[in-house]
């Protein structure tokens, strides 16, 4: 009996001692929580996608508060969240334009040929290890959806024609698909840029034609048509210079294969407000498409069929008499 009592007392004593040590340690070595981390966590979208490079939103918030991560590191939240995080951290954040992923290939099963039938693992990385994959064009989308699997926002899918397609509304521009694609086919492009070359083939034109109906064949018609020096050619492939492109979409109209894609549904048209026009002719002089008519000191007007919506006249008009409206289709 005595032994049992002694054991109980010594166990209780040890428990009390360990408890006291732990209580002391938790006070003595407690890590102070930065209140800014909690405030930042509150304004994050909570997607926990890891696109910022940290383990979820909690990890990112702590990294920002401790100065290890930039205030604009949350791609899902974009500029609005970056501004709020910046104000918590006392940093001014400039608004950045939203970017959207684009798959730079239109070589689906209707447009492109295969060089063999692939029956291996349904994964683009695995398929690309077998002689670059089954596509005749060694640059083309393999359509096995490696990008789809990594997208945390269900913003990319494989179409009926077996090619990756991005849902513009759902894409947050996190860039996970860009990293995952073994063909380096996906690019993040500013939302306001409405024209893209959807091909990355550097093959000679003849070879492109043999493999795909919608590839860039290097004919340079787009280069000649562009009035704004917004296209250049690298390795036989057209490239849009987003800093110069004004979305006139003329290159896409000229491209004989359709390799240049334009969001024609968003094409604009200029409109001159008669009550403001002073007939100075500034707009007429700057228009590269002869889409404005009118005599000096008379009201000018736009010829909608010629206007490409490039917006140069809007910038030049000294009395703000011109606006760009979305074209009625
Ligand atoms: S499509 Fe790509 S960039 Fe867009 S949300 Fe998905 S993974 Fe991110
Ligand atoms: S875009 Fe790249 S990862 Fe996505 S299906 Fe095509 S080849 Fe595969």
Does residue 192 register a pLDDT over 90? yes
Q: Report which protein residue has its CA nearest ligand 1's atom 4.
A: 171
Q: Which residue, 161, 136, 156, is CA-closest to 146?
A: 156
> Average pLDDT of 279-287?
97
Could you report the per-residue pLDDT of 84-139, keeping only the tens digit for each?
Answer: 999 999 988 888 889 999 999 999 999 999 999 999 999 999 999 999 999 999 99
39-48: average pLDDT: 90
**Using only C-alpha atoms, what is the Rg of the chain?**
29
172 lines ligand 1 (CB under 6 A): yes
pLDDT at 148 > cutoff 90: yes
- Over 80: is that where the pLDDT of 211 sits? yes
Burial zone of 117 (CB within 10 Å; 0-12 exposed, 13-18 middle, 19+ buried)? exposed
Per-residue pLDDT, 166 = 98
**Cβ within 8 Å of residue 37, ≥6 positions away:** 61, 62, 64, 65, 66
What does the block give as tokens for 328? 């009625």
**Tokens standing for 83?**
């501004």
Question: Best of 48, 74, 78, 151 to mutate for ligand 1, by most ligand atoms within 8 A of CB?
Answer: 151
Atom of ligand 1 lying closest to residue 172 CA: 5
**Cβ(267)–Cβ(250) below 8 Å:** no
222: left (phi over 0), alpha (psi -120 to 50) or beta: alpha
pLDDT at 34: 86
Q: What is the pLDDT of residue 25?
A: 66
The whole-angstrom separation of Cα 114 and Cα 128 is 13
| 101 C-beta closer than 6 A to ligand 1 | yes
Does the Cβ of 142 fall within 6 Å of ligand 2?
A: yes
Question: Distance between CA atoms of 237 and 215, rounded to whole angstroms?
Answer: 9
Ligand nearest to the CA of 178: 1
Main-chain dihedrals φ then ψ at residue 187, nearest 5 degrees: -130, 145
Residue 232: pLDDT above 70?
Answer: yes
pLDDT given at position 28: 67
- The tens digit of pLDDT for each residue in 10-24 reads 766 677 677 776 776
| Strand 99-103, strand 186-190: pairing | antiparallel
> Which mutation among 181, 198, 199, 201 tests ligand 2's pocket best, with the greatest number of atoms within 8 A of CB?
181
Question: 237 CB under 6 A from ligand 2?
Answer: no
> In the predicted model, is pLDDT for residue 31 greater than 80?
no
Residue 328 has pLDDT above 90, yes or no: no
Whose tokens are 């008379």? That residue is: 298
On average, the pLDDT of the chain sits at 92
Q: Cα–Cα distances in Å, from 148 out to 40, 209, 274? A: 30, 28, 51
| pLDDT at 14 (0 to 100) | 73
Structure tokens, 129: 């290890």
Q: Identify whether the C-beta of residue 61 lies closer than 8 Å to the C-beta of residue 34.
A: no
Q: Are 72 and 96 in contact (CB under 8 A)?
A: yes
Q: Whose CA is nearest to atom 2 of ligand 2?
A: 181
Residue with tokens 């000649």: 224
Tokens linked to 98: 């939203």
Per-residue pLDDT at 52 = 85
Closest-CA residue, ligand 1 atom 5, reads: 171
Q: Is 93 in the pocket of ligand 2 (CB under 6 A)?
A: no
- Mean pLDDT computed over 135-160: 96
CA nearest to 54, candidates 39, 37, 68, 35: 68
- Token pair of 229 as six digits: 């020096």
Which ligand is in closest contact with the Cα of 132?
A: 2
Ligand with an atom nearest the CA of residue 164: 2
Count CB atoms within 10 A of the CB of residue 259.
27
Predicted pLDDT at 2: 67
């Amino acid at each position: 009996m005595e032994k049992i009592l002694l054991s109980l007392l010594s166990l209780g004593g040890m428990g009390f001692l360990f408890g006291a040590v732990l209580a002391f340690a938790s006070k003595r070595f407690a890590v102070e929580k930065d209140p800014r981390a909690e405030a930042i966590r509150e304004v994050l979208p909570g997607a926990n996608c890891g696109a910022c490079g940290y383990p979820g939103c909690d990890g990112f918030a702590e990294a920002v508060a401790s100065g290890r991560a930039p205030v604009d590191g949350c791609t899902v939240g974009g500029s609005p969240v970056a501004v709020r995080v910046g104000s918590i951290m006392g940093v001014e954040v400039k608004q950045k334009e939203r970017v959207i992923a684009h798959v730079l290939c239109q070589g689906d099963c209707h447009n492109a040929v295969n060089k063999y039938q692939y029956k291996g693992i349904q994964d683009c990385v695995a398929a690309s290890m077998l002689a670059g994959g089954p596509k005749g064009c060694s640059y083309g989308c393999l359509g096995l959806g490696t990008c789809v699997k990594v997208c945390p926002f269900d913003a990319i899918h494989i179409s009926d024609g077996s090619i990756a397609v991005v849902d513009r509304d759902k894409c947050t521009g996190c860039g996970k698909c860009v990293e995952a694609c073994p063909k380096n086919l996906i690019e993040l492009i500013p939302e306001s840029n409405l024209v893209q070359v959807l091909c990355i083939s550097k093959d000679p034109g003849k070879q492109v034609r043999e493999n795909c109906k919608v590839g860039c064949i290097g004919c340079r018609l787009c280069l000649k048509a562009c009035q704004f020096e917004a296209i250049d050619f690298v390795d036989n492939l057209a490239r849009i210079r987003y800093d110069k492109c004004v979305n006139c979409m003329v290159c896409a109209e000229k491209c004989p294969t359709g390799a240049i894609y334009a969001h024609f549904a968003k094409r604009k048209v200029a409109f001159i407000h008669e009550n403001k026009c002073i007939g100075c002719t500034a707009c007429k002089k700057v228009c590269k498409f002869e889409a404005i008519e009118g005599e000096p000191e008379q009201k000018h007007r736009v010829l909608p069929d010629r206007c490409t919506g490039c917006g140069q006249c809007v910038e030049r008009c000294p009395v703000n008499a011109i606006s760009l409206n979305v074209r009625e289709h």
